[in-house]
C-alpha cells in the first residue's frame, strides 16, 4: 500500500494514482483548503482534503475498498473517536 502526498507539491484536485508493479493499492492525498460546503442545508466553510484511491481489483473487492475509505474518512473527520475505540 502506498500513500502519495500530491498536496505537498501543491496538488489540490483529485487525480488518478497509478498502481506500479508490486503495489496493491495507492492513495493520493491532495492539498487541504477551505471551501464552501453544504451542511444540513446551509452553506458553511469546511476544510476539505481531496483523496483519490486506486487498487488492483484482482486482489481487493470494490466493496471492501469502499468500506475502508469510509472508515478512513470518518476517522479524519472525527479523530477523537480513534482515542475512544478499543
Active site residues: 57
Its sign, for the CA torsion 26, 31, 32, 33, is: negative
Its sign, for the CA torsion 64, 70, 76, 81, is: negative
Cell of 16: 488518478
Radius of gyration of the chain (CA): 15
Cβ-contact 27, 19 below 8 angstroms: no
Amino acid at each position: 500500500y502506498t500513500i502519495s502526498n500530491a498536496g505537498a507539491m501543491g496538488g489540490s484536485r483529485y487525480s488518478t494514482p497509478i498502481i506500479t508493479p508490486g503495489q496493491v493499492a495507492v492513495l493520493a492525498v491532495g492539498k487541504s483548503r477551505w471551501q464552501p460546503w453544504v451542511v444540513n442545508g446551509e452553506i458553511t466553510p469546511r476544510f476539505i482534503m481531496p483523496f483519490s484511491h486506486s487498487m488492483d481489483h484482482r486482489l481487493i473487492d470494490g466493496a471492501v475498498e469502499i468500506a475502508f475509505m469510509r472508515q478512513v474518512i470518518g476517522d479524519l473527520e472525527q479523530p477523537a473517536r480513534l482515542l475512544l475505540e478499543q
